[in-house]
């Protein structure tokens, strides 16, 4: 199995999981202007990812966008992360560690982007990391 075995739906799943993990950490601590710093930090983390993963994340199609309240978004994001890990294990195992690394890096950079990692951001990062295990 390899990257070429990923369907369009699989790619959307991976893209959504990466994007929403950063959004989940960003949403843990309010602040309108902080959101811009955090979005930049997340995109910078992904730009340093494995080229095949970057192609998937930046590829054609929109990720699944957050909707609903904070608890619903968090639950759905964690679900997407679990699903992405499962799909990558089965179809593109060479991308599993780069995926986990990119998500962890993105979540951490988002937390650090605006005045360091708060307790609520740290808790969100821990949940993201748990979903990747």
pLDDT, tens digit, for every residue of 13-25? 999 999 889 888 8
* pLDDT tier, 41 (very low <50, low <70, confident <90, very high otherwise): low
Question: Long-range contacts: 66-70, Cβ < 8 Å, 24+?
Answer: 66/20, 66/23, 66/27, 70/27
| pLDDT surpassing 80 at residue 125 | yes
Judged against a pLDDT cut of 70, whether residue 93 lies above it is answered with yes
Contact 2, 51 (CB under 8 A): no
Task: Place 85 in a pLDDT band, splitting at 50, 70 and 90.
Answer: very high
pLDDT at 129: 96
Length of the chain: 133
Position 35 scores a pLDDT of 59
Share of the chain above pLDDT 70, in %: 86
Residue 61 pLDDT greater than 90, yes or no: no
Q: What angle do CA 5, 53, 9 make, to 5 degrees?
A: 45
- Give the model's confidence band at 65: pLDDT under 50 very low, under 70 low, under 90 confident, else very high: confident
Buried b (16+ CB within 10 A) or exposed e, 75-101: ebbbebbebbbebbeebbeebbebbbb
Domain count, the chain: 1
How many CB atoms are closer than 10 A to CB 128?
A: 27
DSSP type of residue 116? S
**Domain region containing 94:** 3-132
pTM of the model: 0.87
Backbone Cα Rg of the chain: 14
């Amino acid at each position: 199995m390899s990257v070429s075995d990923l369907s369009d739906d699989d790619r959307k799943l991976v893209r959504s999981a990466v994007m929403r993990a950063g959004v989940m950490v960003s949403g843990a601590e309010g602040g309108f202007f902080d959101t811009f710093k955090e979005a930049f930090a997340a995109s910078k983390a992904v730009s340093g990812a494995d080229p095949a993963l970057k192609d998937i994340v930046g590829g054609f199609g929109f990720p699944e966008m957050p909707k609903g309240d904070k608890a619903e978004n968090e639950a759905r994001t964690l679900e997407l992360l679990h699903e992405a890990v499962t799909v990558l294990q089965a179809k593109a195992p060479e991308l599993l560690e780069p995926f986990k690394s990119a998500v962890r890096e993105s979540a951490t950079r988002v937390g650090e982007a605006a005045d360091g990692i708060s307790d609520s951001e740290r808790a969100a990062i821990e949940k993201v990391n748990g979903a990747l295990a």
